[in-house]
Amino acid sequence: STDGGRNLSLDSIPMGLPMSDPTAWATAMNNLGMAPMGMTGQPLLPDFDPALGMMTGIPPINPMMPGLGIVPPPIPPDMPAVKEIIHCKSCTLFPPNPHLPPPATRERPPGCKTVFVGGLPENGTEQIIMEVFEQCGEVIAIRKSKKNFCHIRFAEEFMVDKALYLSGYRIRLGSSTDKKDTGRLHVDFAQARDDLYEWECKQRMLAREERHRRRLAEERFRPPSPPPVVHYSDHECSVVAEKLKDDTKFSEAIQTLLTWIERGEVNRRTANNFYSMIQSANSHIRRLVNEKAAHEKEMEEAKEKFKLALSGILVQFEQIVAVYHSASKQKAWDHFTKAQRKNISVWCKQAEEIRNIHNDELMGIRREEEMEMSDEEIEDPSEMKETEESALVSQVEALKEENDSLRWQLDAYRNEVELLKQEQGKASRDEDTTKEQQMKLLQQALQGMQKHLLKVQEEYKKREAELEKVKEDKLKIETLLENLKEQESSTSRVCACSQEKECPVEKTLSNSPVKSEREVLLVGIISTFLHVHPFGASIEYICSYLQRLDSKICTAEVEVLMTRLQNTFRQELSGVGASLEKRWKFCGFDGLKMT
């Protein structure tokens, strides 16, 4: 073993070695990994480190395992390796020429613990080989060949590096000079299946340890599982019922209640308890609705505040743009220098772009508000039409303002073009190219502005057409309301006459599809409602509207009345498949021609 190699007794050292040079003696013993000792047993060198197996002044061999562990760092080529004579019991090792290149070695196999030793003396025995190489570490096995080479397997990988240190040494058995007693050692890495198997086993062990560490790390960072839900009992039921009444513990309690119901804890004995807990859960709906309404109110207030701030910013932008436009007019424009005009035009463009962006944002907010129609607006068609009309009027006014601003911009560009034309005649030929480019840019800008102006004019015409349509629809609704009022007055007269007349008149009334003044009023209201909905409406939608006026109205009564009046109302099917729906439409204008 290594310790045995280090603790060699003094008897194993040949006494014929002269002791006149204690430094050479200490170096030789250090190369073998032994503490340099004198004849009296005292250490020759006080700075020897037995843990490293060498002197402090010489670079230590730090054993490392390849791949897994530690491999010794290579000795720098500029550092001379001092090799001295090594004396053993039966042989002597002489160092190679230090000026020769180091002996070549093959690539180190993974987990190498076996070395090839060539150049052995013909008379060398396993005992001599063991004597030389056991000082490098514990030798497991020696396989010697008849052709002056052998394979030595060590216990650890770092011992191979110590054995490679002896490569190139000349060995001499005893004091003989015979060829059979001499040889030059060549030590190299050897590839052995046992080494590879042990290395692979160690790799697998390390991989298992790494997987185990990774699994522990994943479990440490994994979120904790939710606490288990307690089993149902009368005591736990009372605890959960109290928690359901508390707003702060409601979410925990409702989860427990859900788990109990899914487990099947509800039976005849516990049904009342579960009903009371469900009732407590239902009482929280109003609280949640109120919280949602409060949040919506806050959001609306924030929106309104943002809209007001944005409109104020837009007004200031309009004022700034108006200043630029007034400065661009002929009276003030001629007094500015060329650089000042350029700066003013650039500032004007930037302000207009920012103004347009803010204007689009404000218009988008207004469109969203217009699209969010409430139920009251849907129920009251006249108010809806008025809001649409006011929205269209505001849009038309905005388009007019934009049209005016575009005209002002066109005037400013035309003034710039005229000024550039005047300056172009006065300027030299060197500036012609730059002015042509400016002219082209201005012409392109003019073309773009003209296109934009045309688009704005077309949109303005479309808005005017929509406004006219809205006005026509409003007139139609007013005429329809007047007709309905006349029908109501005529029906009231008929009812008054029917009260004065006798039974024959009642028979005639019984034959007519409308039997009472209430039905006449229903027909008028339904006709007005369906006229506002030209694509028809379901009987449930119509009844929901009528029940707002009179809660006693039932769906069957309305449907029977509308089926009797076939010339006034028509039922149609719309949709396909699962979305098939019956819709009622007003056909009184066509029915009037048929009757």
pLDDT score for 411? 79
pLDDT score for 2? 38
Q: How many percent of the chain have pLDDT more than 90?
A: 18
Nearest to 2 by CA among 35, 37, 26, 28: 35
List the chain domain ranges: 84-199, 232-307, 310-367, 515-590
More confident residue, 106 or 507: 106
Mean pLDDT of 180-195: 91
According to CATH, what is the number of the domain 515-590? Answer: 1.10.10.10
Q: What is the distance between the alpha carbons of residues 413 and 452, in angstroms, rounded to a whole number?
A: 15
Q: What is the distance between the alpha carbons of residues 363 and 361, in angstroms, rounded to a whole number?
A: 5
**Tokens encoding 87:** 């004396």
Q: How many percent of the chain have pLDDT more than 70?
A: 79
Let me know: does 538 contact 387? Beta carbons within 8 Å. Answer: no
Of 4-18, 300-314, 372-386, minimum mean pLDDT range? 4-18
More confident residue, 540 or 397: 540
Mean pLDDT of 473-490: 86
pLDDT score for 358? 82
Let me know: does 72 contact 64? Beta carbons within 8 Å. Answer: yes
pLDDT score for 331? 80
Let me know: does 206 contact 68? Beta carbons within 8 Å. Answer: yes
Of 11-25, 130-144, 245-259, 489-503, minimum mean pLDDT range? 11-25
pLDDT score for 41? 46
For residue 179, give the DSSP letter. Answer: G
The set of residues, in sequence order, having a beta carbon less than 8 Å from that of 47 and lying 6+ positions away, is 55, 56, 57
The DSSP element (H or E) to which 134 belongs, if any, is: none
- 152 beta partners: 115, 142
Query: What's the chain's average pLDDT?
Result: 78
pLDDT beyond 80 at 117: yes
pLDDT beyond 70 at 9: no
Mean pLDDT of 478-505: 71
Let me know: does 381 contact 477? Beta carbons within 8 Å. Answer: yes
- Whole-structure pTM value: 0.31
pLDDT beyond 60 at 383: no
pLDDT beyond 90 at 397: no
Of 48-57, 69-78, 323-332, 427-436, minimum mean pLDDT range? 48-57
pLDDT beyond 80 at 67: no
pLDDT beyond 60 at 75: no
Rg, Å, the chain Cα set? 54
pLDDT score for 155? 92
Tens of pLDDT, residues 494-540: 666 555 554 444 444 456 677 788 888 888 888 888 888 888 888 88
The b-or-e profile of 224-238 (16+ CB within 10 A means b, else e) is eeeeeeeebeeeebe
> How long is the chain?
595
Confidence of residue 185 (pLDDT cuts 50, 70, 90): very high
Nearest to 30 by CA among 11, 50, 15, 10: 50
pLDDT score for 81? 57
Mean pLDDT of 11-23: 39
Q: What is the distance between the alpha carbons of residues 340 and 556, in angstroms, rounded to a whole number?
A: 80
Of 248-257, 370-379, 465-474, minimum mean pLDDT range? 370-379
pLDDT beyond 50 at 216: yes
* DSSP-derived 3-state class of residue 585: strand
pLDDT score for 180? 85
Nearest to 88 by CA among 203, 8, 199: 8
pLDDT score for 548? 85
- The architecture of the domain spanning 84-199 is 2-Layer Sandwich (3.30)
With helix as H, strand as E and coil as C, how does 324-343 read? Answer: HHHHCCHHHHCCCCHHHHHH
Mean pLDDT of 102-118: 91
Mean pLDDT of 308-317: 86
Of 1-10, 53-62, 90-99, 538-547, minimum mean pLDDT range? 1-10
pLDDT score for 49? 44
pLDDT beyond 80 at 42: no
pLDDT beyond 80 at 278: yes
Give me the sign of the Cα torsion angle 418, 423, 425, 426.
Answer: positive
pLDDT beyond 70 at 10: no
More confident residue, 343 or 592: 343
For residue 80, give the DSSP letter. Answer: P
